[in-house]
């Protein structure tokens, strides 16, 4: 296709992340997928060949995120879109107590988001109409440490993403934050009703909205595990 673009999708092992990769490939785009090895990704690799670039997935480690960006640079030299699918965590340690799972999800996604954005920024700056879409759910959008205080970048990952907006804008990069409605900092006065999204349905909607480059999108999901299966 003449308008083929290049995307890096994180959290691509299953659920929404995998569906985003599949839909983008079907539309003729080039996709770098950070996800654990799976039969589904292998099938996509066979079907789409070199348009699917398999990338490191342990992105909470700075070196892995940097390695992924290096592979993208060698393959495409630039990047048009970064989709940070920060829903759950593929790399929860086995010894994390059940009571600490949600804090670990937030912390891992905070680190992965920071590392991916920092690593991708030079590539996005060279991309065509570059953009970032950061996707969160009720787990990863939790506010840590000071739940009674105002959300800030140090205790809330969606808010951290919003704080990067001006830096990105200065380099010509648009940012869309996709998250559940926040009672503390609502982004719309319209009540968002939770929907029974499927991975494919949500992926189709989000990819359609990419072209609109909206600053904020509200995504409410009835069953979080349908889009972001927990690894435990």
CA 117 to chain centre: 10
CATH number of 6-227: 3.40.50.720
As a whole number of angstroms, the distance between CA 57 and CA 81 comes to 17
Q: How confident is the model at residue 1 (pLDDT cuts 50, 70, 90)?
A: very low
pLDDT > 80? residue 162: yes
Average pLDDT score, the chain: 92
For residue 155, what is the enclosing H or E element? none
pTM: 0.94
Per-residue model confidence as pLDDT tens digits over 204-220? 999 999 999 999 999 99
Instruction: Please state the domain extents for the chain.
Output: 6-227
Least confident of 55-64, 129-138, 146-155, 213-222: 146-155
As a whole number of angstroms, the distance between CA 225 and CA 209 comes to 23
For strands 81-86 and 131-136, give the pairing.
Answer: parallel
Instruction: Say what percent of the chain tops pLDDT 70.
Output: 94
Q: How confident is the model at residue 28 (pLDDT cuts 50, 70, 90)?
A: very high
Across 129-151, average pLDDT: 89
pLDDT > 90? residue 177: yes
* Angle value at C-alpha 9, between 190 and 193, nearest 5 degrees: 20
Better pLDDT: 135 or 102: 135
Better pLDDT: 190 or 107: 107
Per-residue model confidence as pLDDT tens digits over 79-102? 999 999 998 777 677 777 877 888
What is the predicted pLDDT for the residue at 148? 74
Q: H helices of 39-175, where? A: 39-48, 62-76, 101-125, 157-163, 165-170
The DSSP symbol for 190 reads S
Taking alpha carbons only, the member of 167, 7, 162 closest to residue 83 is 7
The DSSP symbol for 180 reads P
């Amino acid at each position: 296709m003449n308008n083929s673009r290049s995307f890096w999708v994180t959290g691509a092992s299953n659920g929404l992340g995998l569906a985003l990769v599949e839909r983008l490939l079907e539309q003729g785009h080039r996709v770098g997928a950070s996800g654990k090895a799976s039969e589904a990704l292998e099938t996509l690799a066979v079907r789409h060949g070199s348009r699917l670039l398999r990338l490191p997935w342990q992105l909470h480690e700075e070196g892995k995120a940097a390695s992924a960006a290096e592979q993208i640079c060698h393959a495409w030299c630039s990047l048009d879109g970064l989709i940070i699918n920060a829903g759950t965590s593929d790399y929860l340690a086995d010894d994390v107590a059940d009571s600490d799972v949600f804090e670990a999800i937030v912390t891992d996604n905070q680190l992965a988001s920071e590392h991916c954005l920092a690593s991708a920024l030079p590539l996005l700056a060279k991309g065509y109409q570059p953009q970032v879409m950061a996707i969160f759910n009720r787990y990863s959008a939790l506010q840590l440490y000071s739940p009674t205080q105002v959300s800030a970048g140090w205790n809330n990952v969606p808010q951290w993403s919003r704080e990067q907006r001006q830096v990105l804008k200065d380099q010509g990069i648009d940012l869309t934050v996709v998250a559940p409605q926040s009672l503390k900092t609502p982004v719309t006065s319209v009540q968002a009703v939770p929907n029974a999204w499927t991975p494919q349905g949500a992926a189709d909607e989000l990819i359609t909205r990419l072209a609109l480059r909206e600053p904020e999108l509200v995504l409410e999901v009835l069953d979080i595990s349908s889009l972001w299966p927990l690894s435990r």
